Structure 1
Amino acid sequence: MLPVAGLFHSLACPDGHCNRAPCLFSHRKPEDLPPPVTLAIPVTEPPKPLAQPPKRQIAQTPNSNAASSSPAVREPPRKLQRVGTAQRPVAVPTTSQTTNGVPVLRINAAQSLVPIPVRQTMLKTLYDHFVILYSSVSSLSPSLAADHALKQEDEVYKKSSKLTYRNAVIQCVAAIKRRPTPNSLSHPSVGTEDDVKARAERAKSLQNMVLSTKQLEPLILSREDMEKWGYMVDIPEGPGGDEPCLEGKVTKCERCAQPFQVSHTGSDTECLYHWGKQRTTKAGGEKIRTYTCCSRPVAESEGCVHGRHVFYESAPQTLHSRHAFSTLRPPSPSVKALDIAAMDCEMVYTTGGLRVARVSVIDNKDKSVFDELIRMDDDVHIIDYITRFSGITEENHSKATLPLSSIRKSLDSIINSETILVGHALDNDLRTMRMVHHKCVDTAILFPHPAGAPYRRALKDLVREKLGRLIQTGDASTGHSSAEDAAASLDLVRWHILNNKSTSNSKPPIPSTSKT
Structure 2
Amino acid sequence: MFSTTGLFKGISCPEGERCNIIHCIFSHELRPQAVAVPDQAANKKRKLSEETDTKPPVSSVTISSGNIANGSTTTSQPKPATTSSVPPKIPKTLQRPVSPPPKPAALSKHVPAKPAVKESLNPRMIPNDPAGHAKRTLFLKHLHAQMERLNNEVAKGSHVKKADLTMSSDVLIRVALDEEEKIARENHKIYANVIKMRVAALKKMTVNEWIAHVISNIRVELQEKQTKLPPPIDTGLPLEQEHIVLPHLITDQTNLAKHGYVPTPPTDEEIAEAKAGVAASLNYEVCDRCKSRFRVFEERREEDGALTTNGPCTYHWAKPITPRREKTDAIKGPKEAIYPCCQELQGTPGCTTCETHVFKVSEGKRLASILPFINTPENSRPVKGPNGKPPNAVTFDCEMGYTVFGLELIRLTAVAWPEGHSLVDVLVRPQGTILDLNTRWSGVTPEMYSSAVPYEEKMAMDALLPPPPPGSSTSLSSDSPASGPLPIVSGPAAARDLLCSFLTPTTPLIGHGIENDLNTTRLCHPTIIDTIILFPHPRGLPFRFGLKMLTKRHLGRDIQMGGASGHDSLEDARATGDLVRFAVGQRFKRLQRDGWTLNDGVLMPPLPGGPPPTEDSKALGAGSGVKRQRIEVDQHGSSKKLKEG
Note whether the superposition's TM-score is higher than 0.5.
yes
The one-character-per-residue Cα deviations of 1:113-135 (angstroms, maximum 9, x if unpaired) are xxxxxxxxxxxxxxx99977x73
Pair member with larger Rg: 1
Contact (CA 8 Å) 1:448, 1:456: kept in 2 or not?
A: yes
Return the letter of the residue paired with 2:429: R
Contact (CA 8 Å) 1:130, 1:145: kept in 2 or not?
A: no
1:290 aligns with 2:338: yes
Q: Secondary structure at the match of 1:383?
A: strand
Distance 1:417 1:140, change over 3 A: farther
Distance 1:191 1:210, change over 3 A: farther
Q: 2:402 aligns with which of 340, 349, 357?
A: 349
Measure how far apart 1:410 and its partner are: 2.2
Measure how far apart 1:328 and its partner are: 1.5
Specify every segment of 5 or more residues in structure 2 that has no aligned partner in the other structure, as ranges: 1-139, 151-161, 185-214, 301-305, 385-389, 453-487, 591-615, 624-645
Distance 2:182 2:226 in 1: 8
Measure how far apart 1:141 and its partner are: 3.9
Aligned to 1:330: 378
Aligned to 1:280: 322
Contact (CA 8 Å) 2:234, 2:582: kept in 1 or not?
A: no
Aligned to 1:314: 362
Q: 1:485 aligns with which of 545, 562, 572?
A: 572
Aligned counterparts, 1:414-433, within 5 A: 414-433=502-521
Measure how far apart 1:495 and its partner are: 1.3
Distance 2:175 2:307 in 1: 39
Measure how far apart 1:218 and its partner are: 1.1
Aligned to 1:219: 249
The one-character-per-residue Cα deviations of 1:144-197 (angstroms, maximum 9, x if unpaired) are 57679999xxxxxxxxxxxxxxxxx99x979976xxxxxxxxxxxx9265xx15
Return the letter of the residue paired with 2:294: F
Return the letter of the residue paired with 2:362: S
1:466 aligns with 2:518: no
**What TM-score do you get using the length of structure 2 for normalisation?**
0.48
Distance 1:275 1:191 in 2: 32
Distance 1:229 1:142 in 2: 40
Measure how far apart 1:356 and its partner are: 0.8
Distance 2:435 2:580 in 1: 35
Aligned to 1:262: 296
Distance 1:255 1:335, change over 3 A: closer
Measure how far apart 1:404 and its partner are: 1.3
Measure how far apart 1:272 and its partner are: 1.3
**What TM-score do you get using the length of structure 1 for normalisation?**
0.59
Measure how far apart 1:474 and its partner are: 0.5
Aligned counterparts, 1:2-21, within 5 A: none
Return the letter of the residue paired with 1:348: G
Return the letter of the residue paired with 2:375: T
Distance 1:294 1:99, change over 3 A: closer
Aligned to 2:176: 143
Aligned to 2:533: 445
Distance 1:306 1:139, change over 3 A: farther
Equivalent pairs counted in the alignment come to 351
Contact (CA 8 Å) 1:232, 1:316: kept in 2 or not?
A: yes
Q: Secondary structure at the match of 2:401?
A: strand
Range with bigger deviation, 264-273 or 432-441? 264-273
Measure how far apart 1:433 and its partner are: 0.4
Return the letter of the residue paired with 1:280: T
Measure how far apart 1:491 and its partner are: 0.6
Return the letter of the residue paired with 1:396: M
Distance 1:321 1:294, change over 3 A: same
Q: 2:583 aligns with which of 486, 496, 500?
A: 496
Distance 1:99 1:204, change over 3 A: same
Q: Secondary structure at the match of 2:519?
A: helix
Contact (CA 8 Å) 2:294, 2:357: kept in 1 or not?
A: yes
The one-character-per-residue Cα deviations of 1:328-347 (angstroms, maximum 9, x if unpaired) are 11131475543201000000
Return the letter of the residue paired with 1:368: S
Distance 1:148 1:210, change over 3 A: farther
Measure how far apart 1:279 and its partner are: 1.7
Q: 2:427 aligns with which of 356, 373, 378?
A: 373
The one-character-per-residue Cα deviations of 1:397-432 (angstroms, maximum 9, x if unpaired) are 243342111222222321221210111000110000
Instruction: Provide the aligned C-alpha RMSD in A.
Output: 4.0
Q: Secondary structure at the match of 1:332?
A: coil
Aligned to 2:287: 253
Aligned to 1:390: 442
Range with bigger deviation, 205-214 or 289-298? 205-214
Contact (CA 8 Å) 2:415, 2:574: kept in 1 or not?
A: yes
Q: Secondary structure at the match of 2:501?
A: coil
Matched residues, percent identical?
Answer: 30
From the two aligned structures, give the one with the greater helix fraction: 2
Q: Secondary structure at the match of 2:256?
A: helix
Aligned to 1:340: 393
Measure how far apart 1:208 and its partner are: 6.6
